[in-house]
Amino acid sequence: MLNKDTSLEEVRAFFREDRFATEACGCRVLEARQGHAVCAFDVTPVHRNAQGNVMGGAIFTLADFTLAIACNIGEQPTVSVSNTIEFMSATRGTQLIATCTASKSGRSLGFYTVDVADDLGTPVARMTATCFRRA
């Protein structure tokens, strides 16, 4: 369990084990604290679909990875039980940045919003999630 005083380096080391996100997708942690996280990846050809846009699954992976960090610092082990994502526009920049904030963090349930934008400020997607805290 990550306590609320866990350092950024400790968070990075812990979540490095989310290998699909960190190795396959290239996600990295920029900020992390209880109820808040910012993560990013550099857009590469492997992230693109046949039409040349960043694949929805890559965007979702970044959002989900960011959520996992925000909802697990200073809380009981937490898993998402419901996620909804809306894709708003194509990525224009060279980097995607996801910012997760807790809307309400309760004892057994947490509600979070993850906004994904590119490095040019283009809003790319928004994910809302309901999470369950395991005792």
User: Has residue 1 been placed in a domain?
Assistant: no
Secondary element (H or E) of residue 42:
strand 36-42
User: Has residue 25 been placed in a domain?
Assistant: yes
Residue 1 confidence (pLDDT): 74
Asked if the model's pLDDT at residue 81 lies above 90, the reply is yes
CATH number, domain containing residue 81? 3.10.129.10
User: Has residue 58 been placed in a domain?
Assistant: yes
Residue 135 confidence (pLDDT): 74
Task: Return left, alpha or beta for 121; rule: phi > 0 is left, psi -120 to 50 is alpha, else beta.
Answer: left
User: Has residue 94 been placed in a domain?
Assistant: yes
Residue 22 confidence (pLDDT): 98
Mean pLDDT, the chain, rounded, equals: 96
Residues 8-20: tens digit of each pLDDT: 999 999 999 999 9
Q: Which residue has the tokens 């084990």?
A: 17
Please state the rounded mean pLDDT for residues 97-110.
96
Residue 110 confidence (pLDDT): 97
User: Has residue 73 been placed in a domain?
Assistant: yes
CA neighbours closer than 13 Å in the CB half-sphere of residue 99? 7
User: Based on the structure, what is the number of domains in the chain?
Assistant: 1
Whole domain around residue 89: which residue ranges?
Answer: 8-133
- The model carries a pTM of 0.96
Residues 26-40: tens digit of each pLDDT: 999 999 999 999 999
